[in-house]
Structures are given as structure tokens and as C-alpha cells.
Amino acid sequence: MSLQHHPDKNPGDEEAASKFAEIARAYDILSDATKRQIYDQQGEDEVERYEQGGDRRQKGPTNKLTIKATLEELYVGAHSEFNVQRKVYCNKCRGTGAEGGNMKVCEKCKGSGQVMQNINMGMMQM
């Protein structure tokens, strides 16, 4: 497609130049494993933020915690420990749950989650 829409083959054609830029951008993202992973998980805006040196970590919901303290504890200081559970993105499976992020389609149901079987002279969907 890049040869078909290349500006040298389509001089003065703004639509072809725009399409060529879009194809080049897609190639840039797909040919870089890190950019491709960010794009797959978080979209093109996060890829741009990554390219600009921004923080590419996925943001989760804001957690709020209410802690009761006396005025004296606030004034002189106090120490309090607590545990927070949060979900983090797994870079090993890339959020798919499959090792290496590689998933394959079930050969039995072809990814539909359903299999047709003959039971007692009739069809039954399971």
C-alpha cells in the first residue's frame, strides 16, 4: 500500500499523501515491539505519550481511604500502616491471560464457545 500511495507516484494528490503518512505511522508502531504492545493495550494516544518520553504506565482508578486521627496525632504526627490491593497490568501475558500473550483459537469450537453434538437422534447445542 505504501508504494501505491507514495507521494512520488502521486504528485499533487493530497489524499494519497495523507494515506501514505497514515501507512507509515502504522508501520512505525507495528515494527516496534514496545510501541505495538502499548498500542494494543492502551491506544495511539499512549504511544504518542511514550514517544514524547511520557509515563506509559496504565492508570487505574483513584483509591480513597478514610483514616481516623485525633487532633494531637495530626499535630505531633502519627504512624499508621494499611494494605491496599490493586490490579496491575501483567507484561508477561500482555493482559490476555496466555503465556507470552499468544492466544490460539480452540480447534473444537472454533472460538465460538459452543459445540453441536448429536444426542438421542436429535441435535443439542452445548
pLDDT tens column, 65-107: 788 889 999 899 888 888 877 766 676 776 667 776 677 777 8
Q: Is the pTM of this model over 0.85?
A: no
Quote the CA–CA distance of 44 and 32 in Å, as a whole number: 13
pLDDT of residue 16: 87
pLDDT of residue 124: 55
Q: Which three cell numbers stand for residue 25?
A: 505511522
| Distinct helix (H) and strand (E) counts, the chain | 4, 2
Alpha helices in the chain (DSSP H): 14-30, 33-42, 44-51, 71-76
Q: What are phi and psi of 124, to 5 degrees?
A: -135, 130
Least confident of 29-33, 110-114, 118-122: 118-122
Residue 114's Cβ-side half-sphere holds a number of Cα atoms within 13 Å equal to: 6
**SS3 category, 10:** coil
Q: What's the average model confidence in pLDDT over 16-38?
A: 89
Query: Cell numbers 486521627 correspond to what residue?
Result: 69
Mean residue pLDDT across the chain: 79
pLDDT of residue 1: 85
Please check the confidence at residue 3 and state whether its pLDDT lies above 80.
Answer: yes
pLDDT of residue 67: 84
Quote the CA–CA distance of 23 and 10 in Å, as a whole number: 15
Sorting pLDDT into bands at 50, 70 and 90, what band is 62? confident
Cβ neighbours, 10 Å, residue 109? 12
